[in-house]
Structure 1
């Protein structure tokens, strides 16, 4: 098989990338990522069975979580990293298999039993059948690079022939990738949930079981949504207990005269370490893209050299990194392969990677990462070139909005606020995404936008005004802070005495790009939210039949044009 990838919104032709990823990944890299996901499934076969016997391997938990995260769109472009991970995965698979056997587990079931996968994963309804062998992902070994390459060509997305089964399996896997990203951020702050790790491994193993029906897989996808809510709640707790609740904040988008470091991605622990190590050095720190919400946290406001936000959403980095002049630290996904003109100023850390770009490793034994190299680099650079001036306002996470609940409720009761629009999600480079700018501009003046994620860059610098002092764009934070929007909606449902969240004057017009948006979507479906509209296009990985199920059962829809969509949302 040649390369095939359709996990992001920009899949070529709305179908899939087959020559080179729109993101920039090559065929060899795509296949290496496919092989790593295959290996995580094989490990999960044993780890899921071992967990049922009380055996939990924390190294396996970490490996699977980070492997899923590393394969998210625009996270890591270094093929060697993935091949080393595959080798490590094979070692861990044998380790956890031995732990399972030593705990009294058996590797096969007698023919009187149903499929062991169905049995251990909690699915019922199987008839008695002949003994089933372990799936190949649990037994395959490689002796050399040729073996790796040959196998990688056979285990990609298209290895599942049935289009609907393939669609549901990939929907689950992409949701797991997003969930793994959020769990990784929580773990970095020493917050963990063994049940989430257990579910991710159960679900990975389930994608190997050909006996699972479409109904089984739909149920598993909705269960992923349940754990998506748990994962975002855990990260919200980790962030707020560590750094305080986000506060309403005006963020400077201009520049100072000092040299600076630009930090992008999502990881707040890296932000904390960088601010602490740059204090007193004469180097300023600026956030970029999804790191903007770091400006809202009380713990970071004490740093006088925390200068504000520079630039816009991730996809503009090839021009904005050029003008920044100083070094850039990429902490998570949202990496665009750099231009030669600033490649020597880019640094990666965590699961991110680009061949030829300097990588800052984790600290030993849980100690802080050492950012001295990037700080020394910054001191040799010119101050950032100013690309805009002014301020943007944010910090409207659930704690802050609920503090304004009386004011919001009064505005709704008086008719000053007629409708809320959840416009969370991602930004991207397709011109069709200008729809969201136009949509925000044309919304009735009595409508308020609730946002999270980098989708906000399509409208957070527009002068949309306020309603009785309540800004018409309420930015809750990063994509994971979509949880805040859920908390707000559920609180409003309670305040207004409603029995169904769908009876609130809230519409969902969400822009998606990558796999973290998938887990947010599944989380909303688990919570019973209906009539969510996704754009600028529906996911390519939804087969016609699976899309039909989502439309009929959950009211999932796409977008058309701004004027007609606003009329539809407003019930006109």
Structure 2
């Protein structure tokens, strides 16, 4: 195997024996093979659009879910990927047949153009492992081309994750689906120059903005705009179900199915922001948030006592002591865990196995007490824009520091805690994603009633941070958001953070600090381009970085 798509990749070079995330070489290679065939489908999808036709919605959704399944910490089950590769080959042949028929109708002859192997390879299960070994990342020999292709692919994987969440809530945009195929197909085109690939990477960022906006619309139209909320982090004395991941539809259906059962519902990790949506506040048995970031699962899941539902990525391979209490759903998978099937058309998922497991469970073991603040997405912050602007003008707020993104288990992530502690009392942190867990429980106080940590929500809610910056720029009369007193100190871990970064770059944001390590998949030459064009820089010493941030550098 060779995988370097996440920040924790071995030696910041690549995992070659087993993933730091826990996935086996077999699973990693099958994921590569799935992406290989998805690129073949996308090649034909692009050819269809050249003829004035298109792929079906079912195929668009399959590509989206297939890519999402390969995001770090999402699916560890090789059997799932075998099934996906089987289906992907069938779909590719269907799209190829449609293209060939249409081409012959329009041109009077068979298509004679060259076809990449991704569009033609056919194999059975007993050939998958050998083929997967041949089609990995390193087959692109030129390091810079490989870097740009992988940067584009990982950005598209991030789009796939957010697009899937939006689609579940009945929000869809054909242009987003089509760009995903355009980008995947472009990675097969050896004629594209580095400049053309760079342009596609930035276009990917533009579609990242569109996708996050679509998901924001999906979440808020279904559940209302998040409200400032004090979220309980203690526990009650009843059995509970712990819900982790990002899927709000799953969360809603579980809340509905557990009404009046004597079971409390707790959020974990990236599900914390669910506590701030008005529609979820109506459920009295939504108790609050339990624990912290995804990487603490092995300790926290064991102490929870009740069942855990993983709705999306951020699963850590479980310990045997609690493995039988973890349930997966959606694209999440792990060998030996009970999987909750997809909802039937027009219906809901059946969470009764999770509910039954909770009925005889002990109450959660208390980890901590108190509250954390949430609900400061763009609607809330913009509703107090006058107050914020006045605080800026009076000097009460000297700078906003965007510290969104991902958390991770390595010690160097203490940097973000140190930055939060070092920032002066007139600096406000804007955050989204699980990076917040490095500082959201610190007592940092407020500025005239404005909390010094404004939590916009999940990682996709980085869109809220963009909206806030754009609206503040309009309000204070500057044309360029880089002229605002806002600095960006971003933590990354996996592919959703990649699309957040590309989205910021597509909007022209400059001077982003990125860490705790720069991506292993970005070559030196590609990094130089990003530095020259966008002034991207690595995180460094926390105190020195804070001094530079407060000086506007």
Q: Where does residue 31 of structure 2 map in the other structure?
A: 33
Q: Contact between 2:82 and 2:125, CA under 8 Å: does it hold in 1?
A: no
Match of 2:224 among 227, 240, 244: 244
Q: Contact between 2:489 and 2:512, CA under 8 Å: does it hold in 1?
A: yes
Following superposition of structure 1 onto structure 2, how do residues 390-401 of structure 1 map, counting pairs within 5 Å?
390-401=370-381
Farther-moved stretch of structure 1 (561-570 vs 315-324): 561-570
SS of alignment partner, residue 439 of structure 1:
helix
Q: Where does residue 280 of structure 2 map in the other structure?
A: 300
Following superposition of structure 1 onto structure 2, how do residues 552-571 of structure 1 map, counting pairs within 5 Å?
552-571=532-551
Cα pair distance change 1:255/1:98, threshold 3 Å: same
Q: Contact between 2:116 and 2:188, CA under 8 Å: does it hold in 1?
A: yes
Give the drift of 1:101: 2.6
Following superposition of structure 1 onto structure 2, how do residues 198-217 of structure 1 map, counting pairs within 5 Å?
198-217=178-197
Match of 1:343 among 298, 305, 323: 323
Give the drift of 1:383: 0.5
Match of 1:8 among 3, 6, 9: 6
SS of alignment partner, residue 364 of structure 1:
coil
Q: Where does residue 58 of structure 1 map in the other structure?
A: 57
Q: Contact between 1:181 and 1:516, CA under 8 Å: does it hold in 2?
A: yes
Q: Where does residue 121 of structure 1 map in the other structure?
A: none
Q: Where does residue 87 of structure 1 map in the other structure?
A: 86
Q: Contact between 1:50 and 1:105, CA under 8 Å: does it hold in 2?
A: no
Cα pair distance change 1:447/1:45, threshold 3 Å: same
Q: Where does residue 493 of structure 2 map in the other structure?
A: 513
Give the drift of 1:59: 1.6
Q: Contact between 2:208 and 2:500, CA under 8 Å: does it hold in 1?
A: yes
Q: Where does residue 427 of structure 1 map in the other structure?
A: 407
SS of alignment partner, residue 429 of structure 2:
strand
Farther-moved stretch of structure 1 (161-170 vs 361-370): 361-370
2:76 aligned with 1:77, yes or no?
yes
CA distance in 2, matches of 1:149, 1:468: 60
SS of alignment partner, residue 134 of structure 2:
coil
CA distance in 2, matches of 1:569, 1:291: 30
CA distance in 1, matches of 2:361, 2:89: 44
CA distance in 2, matches of 1:369, 1:547: 44
Q: Contact between 1:55 and 1:100, CA under 8 Å: does it hold in 2?
A: no
Q: Contact between 1:16 and 1:540, CA under 8 Å: does it hold in 2?
A: yes
Match of 1:45 among 34, 43, 46: 43
CA distance in 1, matches of 2:293, 2:525: 34
Farther-moved stretch of structure 1 (378-387 vs 97-106): 97-106
CA distance in 1, matches of 2:304, 2:463: 32
CA distance in 1, matches of 2:293, 2:160: 22
Give the drift of 1:105: 5.7
Q: Where does residue 133 of structure 1 map in the other structure?
A: 114
Query: What are the superposed Cα offsets for residues 408-434 of structure 1, whole Å, 9 maximum, x if unpaired?
Result: 000000000000000000000000000
SS of alignment partner, residue 538 of structure 2:
coil
Q: Contact between 1:183 and 1:231, CA under 8 Å: does it hold in 2?
A: yes
Measured on the aligned residues, the alpha-carbon RMSD in Å equals 1.4
CA distance in 1, matches of 2:16, 2:100: 41
TM-score (norm 1): 0.95
Following superposition of structure 1 onto structure 2, how do residues 321-400 of structure 1 map, counting pairs within 5 Å?
321-400=301-380
Unaligned runs of 5+ in 2: none
Give the drift of 1:56: 2.8
CA distance in 1, matches of 2:54, 2:334: 36
Task: Count residues in correspondence.
Answer: 550
Farther-moved stretch of structure 1 (100-109 vs 468-477): 100-109
Give the drift of 1:107: 11
Match of 1:159 among 128, 139, 145: 139
TM-score (norm 2): 0.98
CA distance in 1, matches of 2:246, 2:125: 34
CA distance in 1, matches of 2:493, 2:221: 29
Q: Contact between 1:61 and 1:197, CA under 8 Å: does it hold in 2?
A: yes
Give the drift of 1:571: 1.9
Cα pair distance change 1:355/1:571, threshold 3 Å: same
Following superposition of structure 1 onto structure 2, how do residues 180-329 of structure 1 map, counting pairs within 5 Å?
180-329=160-309
Q: Contact between 1:256 and 1:307, CA under 8 Å: does it hold in 2?
A: yes
Q: Contact between 1:55 and 1:99, CA under 8 Å: does it hold in 2?
A: no
Give the drift of 1:559: 1.0
Q: Contact between 2:492 and 2:514, CA under 8 Å: does it hold in 1?
A: yes
Unaligned runs of 5+ in 1: 111-115, 117-130
Query: What are the superposed Cα offsets for residues 12-57 of structure 1, whole Å, 9 maximum, x if unpaired?
Result: 0011101110000111110000000000000001112223422331
CA distance in 2, matches of 1:226, 1:460: 30
CA distance in 2, matches of 1:488, 1:105: 51
CA distance in 2, matches of 1:185, 1:136: 31
Q: Contact between 1:107 and 1:134, CA under 8 Å: does it hold in 2?
A: no
SS of alignment partner, residue 336 of structure 2:
coil
Farther-moved stretch of structure 1 (53-62 vs 284-293): 53-62
CA distance in 1, matches of 2:440, 2:243: 20
CA distance in 1, matches of 2:185, 2:59: 14
SS of alignment partner, residue 508 of structure 1:
strand
Q: Where does residue 485 of structure 1 map in the other structure?
A: 465
Give the drift of 1:366: 3.8
Give the drift of 1:364: 1.7
